Amino acid sequence: MSHTTRRAELADLERLVAFTLAEAGEAEGAQKDHAKVDAGIRTALLDESVAMYWVLEHGGDVIGHVSIVREWSDWHAGYYWWIQSMYLEPDHRGRGLMRHLLLAVRQCASEQHALELRLYVHKGNMPAIHAYQRAGFRDSDYRLMAMDVADD
């Protein structure tokens, strides 16, 4: 059976929410609010300026997804494409299927003249880090930093 990659649509919402909740648990041991994740993905599916999603199908079943967000660079007058989330069902991992998702994203990024694909990954998520390295990602010269916006 072959695999196909296509842009996600609203009919994929439940599956995308399930994948995103599972990804948070696996990557960071985090439990996310189902309603917020649903609202976040629904918003993006209705407005691609928020984020864009692709799904991977096998035998008519959606078995994985990838989403990207775009960041404008005033230095380069173009967009960096950030992989926001990527998930593949555990039974389908280790078979090189992530390349199908990345190929679809890279093709679209190239057509839209994106500057580069980027991602961040939890520093303790070694399986994901190794998978991304095998897919061609490299360490960046930049260090991710964060600041809370709410006073505690």
**Helix-, strand-, coil-residue percentages of the chain, each rounded to 5:** 40, 25, 35
**pTM given for the model:** 0.89
The residue-averaged pLDDT of 14-40 equals 93
The region, left, alpha or beta by phi > 0 then psi within -120 to 50, assigned to residue 59 is left
The pLDDT value recorded for residue 152 is 63
pLDDT of residue 143: 84
- Residue that the structure tokens 């926001």 belong to: 84
- Res 69: pLDDT: 97
Separation of alpha carbons 89 and 12, rounded Å: 15
Q: What is the 3-state secondary structure (H, E, C) of 77-110?
A: CEEEEEEEEEEECHHHCCCCCHHHHHHHHHHHHH
State the average pLDDT over residues 4-28: 94
**Choice among 12-16, 92-96, 114-118 with the minimum mean pLDDT:** 92-96
Q: Which CATH superfamily is domain 3-134 in?
A: Gcn5-related N-acetyltransferase (GNAT) (3.40.630.30)
The residues spanned by each domain of the chain are 3-134
Where are any strands of DSSP class E within 1-152?
Answer: 3-7, 52-58, 61-73, 78-88, 116-119
Confidence of residue 9 (pLDDT cuts 50, 70, 90): very high
pLDDT tens digit sequence for 66-89: 999 999 999 999 999 999 999 999
Residue 122: the pLDDT is 83
- How are beta strands 78-88 and 116-119 bridged, if at all? parallel
Task: Please calculate the CA angle 61-51-43 and round it to the nearest 5 degrees.
Answer: 85
CA within 13 Å, CB half, 133 = 8
